[in-house]
Structure 1
């Protein structure tokens, strides 16, 4: 099964490069017989994907990871999105016991004081719930863009995620932020008011700030850490690194 999915991912990766956003999503749905899960964090990329999926009435499950530390504006976009597109987005929350133990161990804001502590928080609040959100899925849609950071340049449109045993697709990989913003404006897609206040990449409230002119988009995430560490664990391999296209081709 793994070899078949790896081969399919390669074919879809090539096909994605030749078609538009709507076509990419249709290709993915047609290629996979099993469930496809789209995980949204309600940023502008995910909002564009929500519109593209719902406007075609594709059979895709919607999920979000509610960490318990999200901005009020994120919950507002969540509600507006469900109303506009007439859907329910399934929420996955941190395991209560694991979260209780985390806070008891490191304090409520312990993530500010060390990389290991921050990663432990992300593991409890995001990575473990993601595993439950993707359980049983054959496909995973994510809102990654290659120009969001240097670490995401060179990623594949579609890859086989060996750790989770599924195909992961990033249909917006070659889009610019300007293109996505124009798409959302044209289609009257609900977007977070945080974006217009300089919050370009939105995560948990304590770990997200507005960026300054000239800073990269993800500079506002975990701003107290060095640039080579700014991933929460959702989109990395077992070694903690994002996997590039060349690595995937040779795996």
Structure 2
């Protein structure tokens, strides 16, 4: 593939629509040895990508951000995944001193009080740990699907992340929810039980609720805020050297 790294996004955009998820992940593992990572939050899409990586023994690093405020169902799914595949998942947690200071100054639920407070919490619990997790990496694999929101429909299966200076790849970009659900059932993939309780997008427990039929996929995230503010900082990139800009919300 072409060099420098950023120029490879165009190559991947042409490659991905014509190849399977397994082929895409194998390509990334081959072309970016030791520099490709996948972030999982143990939602349906992430579980499927984990399945492809672990079942095929691909050298793609799998990690998660343990915010300390996850649902018990998410931790249970995490444990079942370890038992199912016998593979390890790296963990990145928030800086303990930063959490202690935030809680000392503003209490445990300051994120409900203002957008600024909520983004401060997201930054400590998610954004900073993610920066550590992606340091030195060239490819970041995610479980983003176009169907998840109107904004995501304008994205591409491969993006340039200017903030982290790496390529983001979404192998399930064109999959539907039904397709993902059926695949998980057929292959015996551990599924977060929250999905069967109306949770489609799963994040921290205090900031996530089930959605009603007909509601937007992201309606259950930070539901007390205006929809335009629903971004935590994990998936925000800018236009760079002619590539399309992306301002995106986290997958989970």
TM-score scaled to structure 1, two decimals? 0.92
Q: Aligned with 1:150: secondary structure?
A: coil
Say whether residues 1:207 and 2:207 are aligned partners.
Answer: yes
1:177 corresponds to: 177
Please name the residue that 1:228 is paired with.
228
Q: Which consecutive residues of structure 1, in runs of 5 or more, have no partner in the other structure?
A: 240-244
Cα contact 1:141–1:169 (8 A) shared by 2: yes
Partner of residue 246, structure 1 = 244
Deviation at 1:74, TM superposition (A): 0.5
Instruction: Provide the residue aligned with 1:13 in structure 2.
Output: 13
Return 194-203 or 146-155, whichever deviates more.
Answer: 146-155
- Name the counterpart of 2:249: none
Decide whether the 8 Å contact of 2:162 with 2:238 is kept in 1.
Answer: no
Query: Which sections of structure 2, spanning at least 5 residues, go unmatched?
Result: 247-252
CA distance in 1, matches of 2:190, 2:198: 17
Distance 1:209 1:230 in 2: 14
Aligned 1:155-174 pairs, distance under 5 A: 155-174=155-174
State the distance in 2 between where 1:34 and 1:60 align.
Answer: 7
In angstroms, what is the RMSD of aligned CA positions?
Answer: 1.8
- Deviation of 1:5 after TM superposition, in Å, equals 1.1
In 1, the alpha carbon distance for the partners of 2:31 and 2:8 equals 8
The 1:228/1:122 distance shift into structure 2, 3 A limit, reads same
Separation in structure 1 between the aligned mates of residue 146 and residue 228 of structure 2, nearest angstrom: 15
In the alignment of these two chains, the number of paired residues is 243
For the residue of structure 1 that corresponds to 2:64, the secondary structure is strand
TM-score, scaled to structure 2: 0.92
